[in-house]
């Protein structure tokens, strides 16, 4: 193919590909990464795909190149050898307002004197929480990319940004990193970080003191509203009513809203439908329990910050034992620091084993993630027997549970591929490797797979 292809053909080709991708991604993922994407050019066995922003370009390049290649083979008669992703607005879309707003934001800093900037308050931000000291891994890379995009263009994309996940996994860190970066880039912006509990208490107090108008001025005149643990608003009708109007006021004025929760919006009980729908307007990103490699990186960073010297064996040992969340990992480091200061002695692996042995909670968590328990939980979840999943039978209703078991044995029980093969009645470790790699790739865009794995882990 020597000449560029007609644009109408390219549009039809991309529509066909997007139709397939929409079936294998969540609504939030599809809207976030593919909305506004388009084919710019196809010639010389090379296709160029335009994306609406730089983060979408990077994400598609890293996560969807292989998928798009396969779909191109399906819908295009000639071989495509190379895919190029580039930042390019779709000319068919009306982007004047957004681009104009971005250019205005870039000049906002220069339009405010230092004296003016100093008088504009920021509330509740902890300067320790930045993007630079947030460790990115498989379990949080989507949330990180979305948060970074929001910080770069507040109020313009992913509004609201809704981050959910378990306790101590970094939701607050990411949320505050958004606030801190906006504060650094646009010092004149009014940023408010609060917990949902504080919002509720402030609202109740304003009613008692007959100062509701003052309450509204506080919350509806900010440029960036960061609300932690929004799940606690469930069941509180009057507070939901007030938050609904606060949300609308900010959203309609292109003010950025970031929310965190321990579960996705659709799982929040006693939440009004009108709030639920608004929480789903923007980007929904989850943070999952960090894998071993991520825990090691987090541990190394935090140990360095606290001045704790650990050898590589000790780091790996702690990372394998402390699996639940980052907060627990940091708590154990504090215990090590106290031990080091009290005893005035270097930390050795033997010392750490003794200290760890007293941590009943960690040991219990480790005990619950034994291969046998994982096997039992997978069988119970899918209503199959252990004999079936360990058999050589490859029927469809057994392959998927077996792959999940392999994934859990590798990522939760830290079994090697040969060890997993041995546990599964002598299966070849290359088969195990393929199964684990398949799920590690799919888990980023398969909501059902994520839910299945998380439910099985929670039952451990």
* Domain parsing of the chain, residue ranges: 7-87, 117-287, 292-360, 369-458
Q: Which residues have C-beta within 8 Å of that of residue 412, sequence separation ≥ 6?
A: 323, 369, 374, 457, 460
Whole-number Å distance between alpha carbons of 73 and 67 = 10
Residue 423, token pair as written in the block: 């546990």
> For domain 117-287, is the CATH number 3.40.50.300?
yes
pLDDT value, residue 245: 95
Report H helices in 280-325: 292-306, 312-321
Whole-number Å distance between alpha carbons of 416 and 406 = 10
CB-count burial class (<10 Å; 0-12, 13-18, 19+) for 409: buried
pLDDT value, residue 91: 54
Whole-number Å distance between alpha carbons of 401 and 407 = 10
Closest CA to 29 of 316, 280, 386, 394: 280
Using CA atoms, how far residue 209 sits from 16, 57, 202, 411, in Å, is 59, 51, 10, 53
Whole-number Å distance between alpha carbons of 64 and 281 = 23
**Domain 369-458: assigned CATH number:** 1.10.1750.10
The number of C-alpha atoms within 13 Å of 140 and in the hemisphere containing its C-beta is 30
Q: What distance, in Å, lies between the first and last C-alpha atoms of the chain?
A: 56
CATH architecture group of domain 292-360: Orthogonal Bundle (1.10)
Out of 3.40.640.10, 3.20.190.10, 3.90.1150.10, 3.30.300.180, select the CATH number for domain 7-87: 3.30.300.180
Gyration radius of the chain over CA positions: 25
Whole-number Å distance between alpha carbons of 24 and 442 = 9
Closest CA to 265 of 282, 250, 253: 282
Starting at the edge strand that comes first in sequence, how are the strands of the sheet with 224-228 ordered?
Answer: 122-123, 191-195, 224-228, 256-261, 161-165, 283-287
pLDDT value, residue 321: 81
Whole-number Å distance between alpha carbons of 260 and 165 = 8
What three-state secondary structure class fits 163?
Answer: strand
Residue 416, token pair as written in the block: 């090697």
Using CA atoms, how far residue 313 sits from 266, 297, 331, 343, 369, in Å, is 42, 13, 19, 21, 21
What three-state secondary structure class fits 136?
Answer: coil
Mean pLDDT by 10 residues, the chain (460 residues): 71 90 74 83 90 78 88 89 83 41 38 38 78 85 90 89 88 94 92 93 93 94 94 90 95 95 84 90 85 84 83 85 79 84 82 70 53 90 90 87 92 80 84 86 80 79
Q: Judge whether 328 and 168 are in contact, CB under 8 Å.
A: yes
Report H helices in 134-195: 141-152, 171-185
Residue 212, token pair as written in the block: 């509701």
Query: Residue 383 region, left (φ>0) first, then alpha (ψ -120 to 50), else beta?
Result: left
pLDDT value, residue 176: 95
CA 186 and chain centroid, separation: 25
CA dihedral 375, 290, 52, 152 (to 10 degrees): 160
**E strands in 35-190:** 38-43, 46-51, 82-87, 122-123, 161-165
DSSP count for the chain of H helices, then E strands: 23, 9
Say if 7-87 and 292-360 have the same CATH topology.
no
pLDDT value, residue 186: 92
């Amino acid at each position: 193919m020597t000449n560029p292809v007609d644009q109408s053909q390219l549009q039809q080709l991309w529509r066909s590909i997007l139709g397939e991708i929409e079936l294998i991604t969540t609504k939030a993922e599809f809207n976030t990464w593919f909305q506004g994407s388009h084919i710019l050019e196809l010639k010389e066995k090379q296709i160029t795909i335009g994306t609406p922003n730089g983060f979408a370009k990077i994400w598609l390049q890293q996560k969807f190149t292989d998928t798009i290649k396969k779909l191109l083979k399906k819908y295009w008669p000639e071989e495509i050898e190379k895919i190029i992703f580039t930042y390019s607005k779709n000319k068919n879309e009306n982007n004047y307002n957004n681009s104009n707003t971005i250019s205005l934001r870039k000049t906002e800093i220069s339009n405010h004197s230092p004296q003016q900037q100093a008088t504009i308050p920021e509330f509740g931000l902890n300067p320790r929480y930045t993007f630079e000291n947030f460790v990115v891994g498989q379990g949080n890379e989507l949330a990180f990319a979305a948060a970074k995009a929001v910080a770069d263009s507040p109020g313009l994309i992913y509004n609201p940004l809704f981050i959910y996940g378990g306790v101590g996994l970094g939701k607050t860190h990411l949320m505050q990193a958004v606030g801190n970066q906006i504060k650094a880039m646009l010092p004149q912006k009014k940023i408010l970080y609060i917990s949902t509990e504080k919002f509720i208490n402030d609202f109740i107090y304003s009613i008692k003191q007959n100062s509701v108008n003052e309450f509204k001025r506080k919350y509806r005149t900010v440029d960036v509203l960061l609300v932690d643990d929004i799940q606690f608003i469930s069941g509180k009708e009057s507070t939901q009513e007030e938050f609904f109007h606060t949300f609308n006021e900010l959203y309609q004025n292109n003010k950025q809203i970031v929310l965190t929760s321990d579960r996705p919006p659709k799982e929040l009980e006693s939440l009004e439908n009108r709030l639920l729908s608004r929480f789903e307007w923007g980007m929904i990103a989850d943070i999952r329990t960090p894998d071993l490699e991520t825990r090691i990186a987090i541990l190394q960073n935090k140990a360095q910050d606290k001045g704790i010297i650990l050898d590589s064996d000790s780091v790996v040992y702690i990372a394998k034992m402390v699996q639940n969340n980052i907060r627990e990992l940091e708590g154990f480091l504090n215990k090590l620091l106290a031990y080091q200061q009290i005893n005035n002695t270097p930390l050795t692996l033997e010392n750490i084993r003794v200290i760890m042995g007293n941590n009943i909670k960690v040991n219990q968590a480790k005990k619950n993630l034994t291969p046998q328990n994982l096997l039992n939980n997978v069988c119970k979840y899918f209503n199959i027997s252990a004999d079936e999943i360990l058999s050589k039978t490859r029927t469809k209703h057994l392959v998927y549970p077996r792959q999940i078991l392999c994934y859990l044995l590798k990522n939760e029980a830290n079994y090697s591929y040969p060890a997993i093969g041995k546990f599964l009645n002598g299966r070849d470790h290359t088969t195990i490797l393929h199964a684990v790699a398949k799920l590690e790739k799919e888990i980023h865009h398969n909501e059902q797979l994520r839910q299945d794995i998380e439910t099985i882990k929670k039952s451990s």
